Amino acid sequence: MSENKKIALVTGASRGIGAAIAETLACDGYDIWLNYRSDHEAAQRVAEKVTACGRQCLLLPFDVADEEAVEGALSELLAEETPYILINNAGFARDGIMALMSRYDWQSVLNVHLDGFFLVTKLVVARMLRKRAGRIVNIVSTSGQTGVAGQVNYSAAKAGLIGATRSLAAEVAKRKILVNAVAPGFIETEMTADLPVDKILPTIPLARFGQAQEVADAVSFLCSDKATYITGQILAVNGGIV
């Protein structure tokens, strides 16, 4: 593996889909820069799985929506090394009907998904442009493709990220940087643990929730040499629900 293809930066990677992506990319041969906000124990468990694949794991605890924290964590690292892969996975939901939604619930969701994408990607893509190489994969959602009642903030954030994916792909394609998104449907993670499974399953053609590993495998494909002519696309991993 060439020198500029050895590092993958994964945000929000201490658990769930992010953890599965970090572990899979490590087994694909990448050292991992593992971002998370505060769950040190969970992040350490993922790091142990990364090292079990024979790769190095650098833990980077910072809030992707905090500009000072992002620059403090990444600027010196990027001065020395450039990740070949950036996975923008950090995010969370704060559901509720819009008529009762607080400004905080609206803004905090947009801050993490959109501001977090902007702050992290701006720093990394500047280095990728100099290297003329890189892959960026944004984790979006079926909520951003179709809209979901009770998730106006989350759907707006993910839809915005879909638009950003397509625009950035057009900007950087001439420098051989590919930008895509993966849109999971209902995946078995902490975020879906309290959902009414009996009501949701009949709406899914495959009649089951997906696994985090199935999302990670799609990301792995987009980061591989099998996806060299794919950019600006949204790859759905949703059991046929959309």
The answer to whether residue 229 scores a pLDDT higher than 50 is yes
Give the strand pairing for 177-184 and 134-139.
parallel
State mean pLDDT over 155-176. 98
The answer to whether residue 131 scores a pLDDT higher than 90 is yes
Amino acid at residue number 190 = E
Say how far apart CA 19 and CA 36 lie, in whole Å. Answer: 10
By percentage, how much of the chain surpasses pLDDT 70? 98
The answer to whether residue 82 scores a pLDDT higher than 70 is yes
Residues 6+ apart with CB under 8 A from 236: 142, 145, 182, 183, 185, 242
Between the alpha carbon of residue 176 and those of residues 30, 89, 196, 227, 234, the distances in Å are: 19, 22, 43, 12, 18
pTM of the model: 0.95
Angle at which helices 16-27 and 212-222 cross, to 10°: 50
Nearest to 8 by CA among 65, 72, 40, 53: 53
For tokens 């992707």, the residue is 64
Residues 6+ apart with CB under 8 A from 238: 142, 183, 184, 185, 186, 204, 210
Domains delineated in the chain: 3-237 (3.40.50.720)
What confidence tens digit (pLDDT) does each residue in 168-226 have? Answer: 999 999 999 999 999 999 999 887 777 888 899 999 999 999 999 999 999 999 999 99
Q: Could you say which of 30, 36, 84, 154 is catalytic?
A: 154
- Which of 5-14, 42-51, 120-129, 155-164 is predicted with the least confidence, judged by mean pLDDT? 5-14
What confidence tens digit (pLDDT) does each residue in 26-67 have? Answer: 999 999 999 999 999 999 999 999 999 999 999 999 999 999
The answer to whether residue 4 scores a pLDDT higher than 90 is no
What does the mean pLDDT of the chain come to?
95
Is-contact 150 95, C-beta < 8 A? Answer: yes
Say how far apart CA 124 and CA 118 lie, in whole Å. Answer: 10
Q: What's the distance, Cα to Cα, between the start and end of the chain in Å?
A: 37
Say how far apart CA 18 and CA 60 lie, in whole Å. Answer: 14
pLDDT given for residue 1 in this prediction: 41
Active-site residue, 154 included? yes
pLDDT given for residue 212 in this prediction: 97
pLDDT given for residue 193 in this prediction: 78
DSSP helix/strand/coil, 111: helix
DSSP 59-81: EEE--TT-HHHHHHHHHHHHHH-
Angle at 191 between CA 241 and CA 17, to 5 degrees: 80
pLDDT given for residue 242 in this prediction: 85
The answer to whether residue 20 scores a pLDDT higher than 60 is yes
pLDDT given for residue 10 in this prediction: 98
The answer to whether residue 2 scores a pLDDT higher than 50 is no
